[in-house]
């Protein structure tokens, strides 16, 4: 690689990197995409729900050929105590009436390999098994990368899409190592079940799929959540909590996942399943306050490397793809001007500001901080909601007015009206209202 000079070098072949590379290659740029794994997806972990809009913007009509698992027609939120659960959800086969559906479950290894192949088809030079460990600079501007094999590769611009622990962004001086409270540790199992069993248990027809997001007692008061997604012949069950919470409590993530599998609402759904795979990965959850500078002379950051995750809505891959596409478009414009200075590349930030991406991250910037300050939202409310619903549905010979009285008593005892009004205000603030 030593003598080559590319228009752009993209590091990392996840959703961000491949989207960046395809966007530039389609515009005729000479692009190198470097991936440390033996193949794209080899090192990746995700739930994994992926969103059509953002894939379509990079590969139109992707759904005709991409390796997709199930088209999601039902989304659920379960609020669990140790023995019960309050369920909210929405099902609409309309989400998948005609392709593409709103979102799909995928197996990331398969999806990433297909996606990287689309990059090669677009003309990208895709190199696997290459770990980039530094940037090259000239007069303060990034002009290339160095690999662990001491190879040097030059490019007019470098895009760091190397995920949550972006070595590249750190070496370029754009961000420090994340603090434990700025990342979550997620663990996930893939559980094999026959296709028909999945469809019967989850009430699905054909390639329809469903998702369940969970919060509640299973995190033992830590900031975290869990998920259960349907693939064609497997389930993805996972959970994650802020890393500093695991450090503080000494609780092991795997123990929480095992507990979750034994939960009375989850047990029947995963019964008889065979574990195919276990994986763990960090998730950047510092949000907007933790975002590093997104551009510098000769360099851009996209996806997880720039903390682009919206955990309140389970969104990460779509932010990675959208930011990758916008980084690519910015570089195409910079190439026309022949100027890759920060002054030109700041258009990238303007594009992100104008899109859903930075608006959403700004709107959700207080979620994590408020939850940390108001632990009752994580502990008292799940229990209270379950107790209230239990009482509401109980038929035990007592008149309804006694049930109502008991419900009001529960609310007063557990939280009180004034505190609840305050909590409602905090929750409003958390969603950016």
Ligand X SMILES: Cc1cc2nc3c(=O)[nH]c(=O)nc-3n(C[C@H](O)[C@H](O)[C@H](O)COP(=O)(O)OP(=O)(O)OC[C@H]3O[C@@H](n4cnc5c(N)ncnc54)[C@H](O)[C@@H]3O)c2cc1C
- Please give the residue ranges that form the binding site for ligand X (CB under 6 A): 11-17, 34-37, 43-49, 131-132, 161-163, 167, 186, 188, 238, 240, 281, 283, 303-305, 309, 314-318, 320
To ligand X, the closest distance from the beta carbon of 378 in angstroms equals 19
Based on CB atoms, which residue is closest to ligand X, 129 or 289?
129
Q: How far apart are CA 257 and CA 265, in angstroms?
A: 14
Based on CB atoms, which residue is closest to ligand X, 13 or 86?
13
E-only strand ranges, 193-325: 208-216, 224-230, 234-242, 274-284, 295-296, 299-301
189 in Cβ contact with 47 (< 8 Å): no
To ligand X, the closest distance from the beta carbon of 45 in angstroms equals 5
To ligand X, the closest distance from the beta carbon of 397 in angstroms equals 46
Helix 400-414 vs helix 417-430: crossing angle, to nearest 10: 70
The dihedral built from the CA positions of residue 68, 166, 353 and 22, taken in this order, carries a sign that is: negative
To ligand X, the closest distance from the beta carbon of 166 in angstroms equals 7
Q: How far apart are CA 167 and CA 150, in angstroms?
A: 16
- Taking alpha carbons only, the member of 389, 387, 375, 368 closest to residue 419 is 375
Helix 356-363 vs helix 347-354: crossing angle, to nearest 10: 70
Residue environment code for 31-42, b if the CB has 16+ CB neighbours within 10 A, otherwise e? bbbbbbbeebbb
Based on CB atoms, which residue is closest to ligand X, 49 or 430?
49
Based on CB atoms, which residue is closest to ligand X, 43 or 383?
43
To ligand X, the closest distance from the beta carbon of 136 in angstroms equals 14
To ligand X, the closest distance from the beta carbon of 81 in angstroms equals 24
Based on CB atoms, which residue is closest to ligand X, 225 or 340?
225
Based on CB atoms, which residue is closest to ligand X, 229 or 340?
229
């Amino acid at each position: 690689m030593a003598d080559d000079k590319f228009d752009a070098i993209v590091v990392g072949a996840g959703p961000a990197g491949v989207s960046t590379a395809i966007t530039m290659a389609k515009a005729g740029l000479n692009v190198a995409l470097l991936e440390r794994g033996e193949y794209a997806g080899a090192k990746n972990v995700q739930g994994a729900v992926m969103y059509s809009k953002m894939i379509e913007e990079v590969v139109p009509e992707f759904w005709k050929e991409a390796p997709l698992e199930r088209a999601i027609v039902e989304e659920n939120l379960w609020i669990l105590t140790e023995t019960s659960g309050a369920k909210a959800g929405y099902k609409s086969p309309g989400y998948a009436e005609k392709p593409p559906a709103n979102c799909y479950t995928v197996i990331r290894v398969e999806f990433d390999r297909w996606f990287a192949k689309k990059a090669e088809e677009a003309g990208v030079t895709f190199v696997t098994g290459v770990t980039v460990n530094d940037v090259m600079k000239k007069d303060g501007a990034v002009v290339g990368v160095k690999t662990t094999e001491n190879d040097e590769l030059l490019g007019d611009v470098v895009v760091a899409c190397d995920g949550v622990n972006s070595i590249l962004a750190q070496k370029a001086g754009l961000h420090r190592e994340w603090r434990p409270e700025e990342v979550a540790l997620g663990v996930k199992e893939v559980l094999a079940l026959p296709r028909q069993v999945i469809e019967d248990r989850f009430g699905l027809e054909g390639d329809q799929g469903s998702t369940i997001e969970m919060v509640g007692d299973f995190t033992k008061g830590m900031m975290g959540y869990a998920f259960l997604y349907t693939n064609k012949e497997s389930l993805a069950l996972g959970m994650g909590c802020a890393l500093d919470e695991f450090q503080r409590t000494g609780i092991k993530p795997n123990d929480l996942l095992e507990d979750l599998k034994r939960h009375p609402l989850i047990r029947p759904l995963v019964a008889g399943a065979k574990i195919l795979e276990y994986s763990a990965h960090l998730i950047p959850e510092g949000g907007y306050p933790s975002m590093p500078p997104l551009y510098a002379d000769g360099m851009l950051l996209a996806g997880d490397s720039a903390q682009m995750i919206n955990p309140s809505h389970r969104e990460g891959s779509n932010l990675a793809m959208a930011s990758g596409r916008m980084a690519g478009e910015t570089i195409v414009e910079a190439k026309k001007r022949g100027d890759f200075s920060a002054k030109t590349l700041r258009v990238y930030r303007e594009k992100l500001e104008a899109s859903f991406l930075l608006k959403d991250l700004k709107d959700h910037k207080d979620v994590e901080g408020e939850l940390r300050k108001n632990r009752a939202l994580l502990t008292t409310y799940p229990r209270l909601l379950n107790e209230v619903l239990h009482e509401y549905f109980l038929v035990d010979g007592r008149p309804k007015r006694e049930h109502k009285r008991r419900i009001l008593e529960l609310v007063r005892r557990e939280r009180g009206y004034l505190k609840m009004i305050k909590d409602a205000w905090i929750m409003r603030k958390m969603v950016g209202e």
